[in-house]
Amino acid sequence: MRRRVVVTGMGCITPLGNDVASTWDGVCSGRSGVGPITLFDASDLETQFAAEVKGFDPVAHFGRKDARRMDRFTQFAMVAALQAVAAARLQITDANRDEIGAYIGTGIGGVATLIEGVETLRTSGARRVSPFLVPLMLPDSGGAQVAIHLGIRGPNLAIVSACATGTNAIGEAVEVIRRGAAQVMLAGGAEAGIVRVALAGFDVMNALSRRNDAPERASRPFDLHRDGFVAAEGAGVLVLESFEHARARGAEILGEVLGYGVNNDAHHISAPSEDGSGAARCLSLALKDSGLTPTEIGYINAHGTSTPLNDRSETAAIKRAFGQAAYQTPVSSTKSMTGHLLGAAGGIEAIFSLLAIRDGLLPPTINYETPDPDCDLDYVPNRARRTAIRHAMSNSFGFGGHNACLVFGPAPHET
C-alpha cells in the first residue's frame, strides 16, 4: 500500500492576481492578463506584449536589502510558497522541520540577474560584478531561499524540464512522500523570463504571437488563427502531505494527487511529435498510476500554448490516450488568460485543476472564435462552465521533448 498524497495549501502570483482567490476569479471571469510590456522598452521587438505580474512590490514583502538579494523569479517563488504554507496552517518546528522539503523548479532561473551581470562586466569591468550574481541566477535559488526562510531541512531540489517543470516538480515531490522520504513537500514552479533576450530568442523561432494591435486577444489556444504563445511570469506552489500526516494534524484537505506520468518524446529539441504519440503515452501513464479510466476524467487542463503545432499535437495525444472518451471530456487552456508561465505553468494549472473540482466550475478557453478542423474537442469556449466533476488532469510539455501529467481527485473521506 503506497502512501496517499493530498494537497493542503496553495499559493500563487500570476498576471491575473497576486494570490489564489484573485487569480481564480480572473480565470473564471474569462479575463486576460496580457498587455503591453512595461518591464523594459520593447519597441524594437517583433512582439511587444506579454502577461506581466502587476502591482508586485518585493520591498513590501522582504525589505529593500533582502529583495535586492533575490532574482525576481525567487521573489515570486518565496511569496507563493509562503501563501501556500499559511493556507495550509502548517506549523514548522524543530520537531518536524527535517520531514518537510521543497521541490520548486524553474525553466530558465535568474536570467535577468545573469544579463545584468554580463552588462556590468561589459561596461564597468570584472570588479563591479555583484558578489550575489551566482547565487541569484542559479535555478535552485527559489527552493533554497524558501528552505532557508522557513528552516525546512527535508529534500530540496530544483526540477528543470522547460515548460513541464512545474508539473514535474509536483509529481516528483509526490513520489518523495510516497516513498516515505518526507511527510510534507512544497512543490511547484516560478518564472520571471520576460526579458529582452528571451523574447528576442522566442521571436526568431516564430514561437510568439505578434498581435501587437490586440494583445488581450493574442493567446487563442486551439483556434484556427492562433499564431504563437504569449510569454508570462509568476509562480504556483502547493503544499503536499501524506494523507495520514494531514489527518493527524487536522488539516483541511483541498484534494488528492492520484496519478503522475512522465516521459520524453525523444523527437526534437523544441517541437513535439506531430502525432502526439509521446504525450499520449504520458497521459496513459498518469491514468494507470491513478487507477482511473478515461471516462472518469471530468476535465483536462491542457498545455494549450496557442502555437499551431502544440495545440494540434496535444489534441492528437488526448484522442490517442482517451479514445472515444476524448470527445466527451471538456478540455480548456487557461494560458488563453494567463499567458504561458513557462516553468511555472504546471504549478498554476495544478491549482486551477484542483479548484475546478472544488467549485464544479471549468475555466474557459477565451479568444476561441474559429474552430480548427485538426482541433475538434470540447475546449470550453469563451465562458466558464458549471459542471460537477470528481477528477481532473493537468498536462505540461516542454522543449527537449519533456512530457508530464498529473491527475487530481477530491479530498478523501476515509477516516
Q: Tell me the pLDDT band of 306, cut-offs 50, 70 and 90.
A: very high
Backbone angles phi, psi at 190, to 5 degrees: -145, 145
In the numeric block, the cell 498554476 is attached to 348
Express each pLDDT in 145-188 by its tens digit. Answer: 999 999 999 999 999 999 999 999 999 999 999 999 999 999 99
Q: Where are the alpha helices (DSSP H) in 125-223?
A: 133-137, 141-150, 165-178, 196-204
Query: Would you say the pTM of this structure is higher than 0.85?
Result: yes
Catalytic residue among 340, 375, 391, 405: 340
Mean pLDDT, to the nearest integer, of 219-236?
98
pLDDT of 270: 84
Cα–Cα dist 298/295, whole Å: 8
- What are the structural domains of the chain? 5-248 (3.40.47.10), 261-409 (3.40.47.10)
pLDDT of 414: 56
Does residue 163 have an active-site annotation? yes
Catalytic residue among 163, 282, 375, 405: 163
pLDDT of 255: 98
Q: Tell me the pLDDT band of 415, cut-offs 50, 70 and 90.
A: very low
pLDDT of 312: 97
> Is residue 296 pLDDT above 90, yes or no?
yes
Express each pLDDT in 83-129 by its tens digit. Answer: 999 999 999 999 999 999 999 999 999 999 999 999 999 999 999 99
Mean pLDDT of all residues in the chain? 97
In the numeric block, the cell 475538434 is attached to 376
Does residue 340 have an active-site annotation? yes
Catalytic residue among 303, 391, 402, 405: 303
Q: Alpha-carbon torsion 35, 36, 38, 40, what sign?
A: positive
Express each pLDDT in 21-53 by its tens digit. Answer: 999 999 999 999 999 999 999 999 999 999 999
- Residue 396: closest CA among 117, 124, 167, 134: 167
> Is residue 376 pLDDT above 90, yes or no?
yes
Does residue 267 have an active-site annotation? no
